[in-house]
Amino acid sequence: MNKILLIAKYSFRDTLRSKLMINVIWVSLGVLLLTYVTSEFSYGNVSKVALDFGLSLSSLATSFIAIFIGASLLSNEIENRTAYITLSRPVSRMAFILGKILGTSIFLFLNTFLISSVALLCYVGVGGIFHFSILWSILFSLLEAIILLMVVLNFSLISNKVISIINTLAIFVLGHAIPTSLNLNFIKNRPELESMLKLSTYFIPNLDKINVKNQIILTNFSNSDLIVNATLYSTFYILFLIFLSILIFNKKELN
């Protein structure tokens, strides 16, 4: 366990050095600008629109950072041969990859926390009332980013960085689009197509299942069944992808 934490520490530090945290500044400025525009030109519920923009930007920023970090998380270590140095010591491949995942996940948490804090401050600043349920939306945005991190990490173990990023972006889009399309009458009226799309949800993560932002913004209420199902689903998927990455990494030739 100490070895995993040590690798996580250095992985987190290296990610900070990559200056990716600068995205917090730009996304936060975007949240501030959109909140101002919303307050000036919106005739609806300004606070909810501001919260929707803020949480959406936070989720997108964290997801895209997870994809681009994950694509090079292990491939850079192998190309620079730093992985060889680490693994030549009494460090197992499982401890190495778990440490890298943990360190990157902590970075994603920090990124999500900072941008979401700005979004919440803007929301409260335009008259919004804070509800504890909003934190669930932020948590699931982080879990979605970790799922994408694991997806791109697995792709990077069997292909190059560019292909890994493209494949993961495709899964990101399909993970939201397919569950939504199943509610369309066009799909429901075509049983074969509906069955095919339902089958694909067993292979492509159902990211819409853990997207509780709309329900929370519209109702300010946390449905306990929704929260439990989303938590179990995202936890299972992350654990499965971690197991898969360890399995692939253990069999990967590092010569």
What's the mean pLDDT in 189-201? Answer: 77
**pLDDT confidence tier of residue 221, bands split at 50, 70 and 90:** low
Higher pLDDT, 216 or 116: 116
Question: Which tokens in the block code for residue 221?
Answer: 């209420």
pLDDT in tens, 72-112: 887 777 777 776 677 677 777 888 888 888 888 998 898 88
**pLDDT confidence tier of residue 239, bands split at 50, 70 and 90:** very high
Q: Which residue range is the domain that position 128 belongs to?
A: 2-251
> What CA–CA distance (Å, rounded) separates 159 from 25?
32
pLDDT in tens, 28-42: 777 777 776 766 666
Which among 37, 39, 32 is positioned nearest to 57, based on CA atoms?
32
> What CA–CA distance (Å, rounded) separates 20 from 18?
5
**pLDDT confidence tier of residue 148, bands split at 50, 70 and 90:** very high
Number of domains comprising the chain: 1
pLDDT at position 214: 67
% pLDDT > 70, the chain: 89
**pLDDT confidence tier of residue 147, bands split at 50, 70 and 90:** very high
pLDDT at position 150: 92
Burial class from Cβ neighbours inside 10 Å (0-12, 13-18, 19+) for residue 191 reads: exposed
What's the mean pLDDT in 178-206? Answer: 77
What's the mean pLDDT in 155-173? Answer: 88
Inter-residue contact 23 to 111 (CB < 8 Å): yes
Kind and range of the H or E run holding 255:
none
Mean pLDDT over the full length of the chain: 80
